[in-house]
Structure formats: structure tokens, C-alpha cells
A and B are shown apart, each in its own frame.
Chain A
Amino acid sequence: MRIPILKLNDCLLVSIQWELDDQTALQFQEDLLHKIHETSANGVVIDLTSIDFIDSFIAKVLGDVINMSKLMGAIVVITGIQPAVAITLIELGIGLDDVLTALDLEKGLEKLQQELGE
């Protein structure tokens, strides 16, 4: 199963709807970078509302894809991280320090516009 990536103006929208296994996560990394390249998108919103846990592997893949996107000129905003996920990430010791976050997709797009506008 591949994670669908939607295009909205100059942004890409990704909503992860099911539990990520390692392969899907890596595939997603690949797909997203290609899509950014293809569309010259300036921003990406990744929505994690449906994800109920993130371990260090998936956190690393996410962190990596954010940095890689940045290198390609696209800002990434992560949205919808659930309380339980936030707590486990912090306790694991993964702060995702420089990552932009927002409460939900709508706020995420707002934040992206803000960042891109400045």
C-alpha cells in the first residue's frame, strides 16, 4: 500500500491513514521526494491524526524526510500528532526539535502560508 500524496496549489498534502510499517515508511520517503521534484512544491503538510504510535524508526524516517524536503526547497509542517504519540515521542527522547507543527490540516496549511509568505 502506498500513501497517497495530493497536490493543492503549490503545496502537497499527505494524510497517513493507517499504521506505518517500515517498508511503507521508506516508500513514502521516496515517493514524497519525487513528488516534490516533479511538482516543484514549496510546502508539504503531513497529517498524522490517524497514527496512534510512532517509534524511533518512523521518527527517524519522518525527521529525515523533513530535512531532505528542506534541501529540495520545500517546507514541511506536521499536523495532528495525537497526545499519546507526543508523550511517547518525548519519553523516547525524540523531540523533533526543528519540526513545524500544527493542530490540524487546516491550521497546518495556514502555518505553511505564513512561513512561505515571509
Chain B
Amino acid sequence: MDIQSCVTIINEWDIVAARQLGRNVAKELGFGTVDQARITTAISELARNIYLYAGKGQICIDKLYDGGKAGLRINAVDSGPGIREIRQVMEDGFSTSGGLGAGLPGVKRLMDEFDIESSPGQGTQIRASKWLR
């Protein structure tokens, strides 16, 4: 894995850097404009959650190759407070911060695969992938 394909999230500007990285990789892989927007938006949501709730973390973008298919995976990792009620945060409209609460369930809808692992006090890891059609 390429060092360049990770962005450390500490401040708001890093959110911009993360989504630019994602958009570039998506473009490079040949995703269309709509999928590029989906991927960029998903990264923005995950990066902002890290910034808001964990304070610090990392967004990595991997290229995927599986048989004849190519894809992109967003890997968002932090060692923040973790999420206690995963089921609850995956419901539309749940927010602890006065946001729209569309973030996590939205990311799941925008991407093809979504996977979340989190333990309170340990941190959160979210992986979301999109395949080229």
C-alpha cells in the first residue's frame, strides 16, 4: 500500500485533503462523475466524523482488484471514544451533535459495501467500498 494514499485527519483542512485524494483516485480508476461525487461525499462524512467525534484519525484510500473488477475502498480509522450503539447510529436522523444524522446511514447507501467495527474506549474502524460498474 502506497504511503501517499492516506491522510491524517486532525483539523478541518484535512477533510478537504482526504476528499481530494479520494476524488483523484476515483477519477484515475475510471469512475463516472456520479460515482466520484458519491465517493467524495462518503469520504467527507467519515473524515468529518473523525474530526468531530474522535479528534484524530486516518483516512486511507485503497484500490481494489478482484478478478476482472476494479474498485475503491475507503478505510477510516481512529482511536477515539468509539460508538456504543452501532445499531442506533445506523438509523437515519440519529445524531449526538445536532447534525442531520444522515452521515453513516448515508455513506452506507452511497457505497456498495459497508462495514463498521467499534468498541467503546478503543476506537472506530469503518470500511466502505465501491466497485466499478
Mark A residues whose CB is within 8 Å of B.
19, 21-23, 52-57, 59-60, 82-85, 87-88, 91-94
Contact = CB atoms under 8 A, between A and B. Distances in A.
A93 B105 contact: yes
A25 B41 CA distance: 16
Give the interface residue-count category, chain B.
Answer: 20 to 34
Interface of B: 12-13, 15-16, 19, 33-34, 36-38, 40-41, 44-45, 48, 92, 99-100, 102-103, 105-106, 109-110
Contacts of A59: 100, 102
A59 B100 CA distance: 9
Given A52-B33, A53-B41, A88-B110, A21 B48 contact: no
A92 B41 contact: yes
B106 A54 contact: no
Given A21-B16, A57-B99, A60-B100, A93 B106 contact: yes
A91 B110 contact: yes
Contacts of B16: 19, 21
Contacts of B92: 93
7 contacts: A21-B16, A22-B48, A57-B99, A59-B100, A84-B38, A91-B38, A93-B100
